[in-house]
Structure 1
Amino acid sequence: MEAVSYSNFRQNLKKYFKQVNQNSEPLIVTNKNVEDDVVVMSKDDYDSMTETMRIMSNPELMERLRDSEEQFRNGEFKEHELIEGNNEKDVVR
């Protein structure tokens, strides 16, 4: 993870925003006072991280995931062809 000073970050804000979004790599912005340092990340990465934390903090969901993984390892699954179409009835919910 790259680190950049606050003043450099401020002067090159557009460049660093683009970099963070393109590389999906968080950026540490440092300050004179270490307690004021921040991490900048893309919104997509943030959303993904918070969703992962939500799932991992839910015991019921984690149990379902573990059960699904075990079923897959044991070959207890069926393959289905994907339905492609633009009709509302073709959408799987």
Structure 2
Amino acid sequence: MLAVNYTNLRDNMKSYMDQITDDYETMIVTRKNNKNVVMMSEEAYNNLMENVYVMGNKANYDWVMESKAQLEGKKFSSHELSEVEENE
């Protein structure tokens, strides 16, 4: 996670925005009176919101945790995917 003050951000906005989007960084912009702001890419934000939604529902959370336990316990099987015709 990066941290930068407002003045530095303003003077180097494009560079910081490129770093945030290209390197999947999150940045804290420090401001007076501790009114800080967090900057992240839209992709990172959407991923965060999806995780909040999935993990915010007890049934979804339990399903994910059960799946994780099965994976860690090697209780899974793999198989080849079948091709689907274009007209299906």
TM norm structure 2: 0.81
Q: Which residue of 1 aligns with 2:13?
A: 13
CA distance in 2, matches of 1:86, 1:9: 51
* Paired residue total: 87
CA distance in 2, matches of 1:21, 1:29: 16
Q: Which residue of 1 aligns with 2:27?
A: 27
- Quick one: structure 1 residues 29 and 70, their matched pair in 2 at CA, closer, same or farther if it must change by over 3 Å? closer
Identical pairs, percent: 36
**Unaligned stretches of 5+ residues in structure 1:** none
C-alpha displacement of 1:12: 1.2
Q: CA RMSD in A?
A: 2.0
**Unaligned stretches of 5+ residues in structure 2:** none
**Correspondence 1:2 to 2:2:** yes
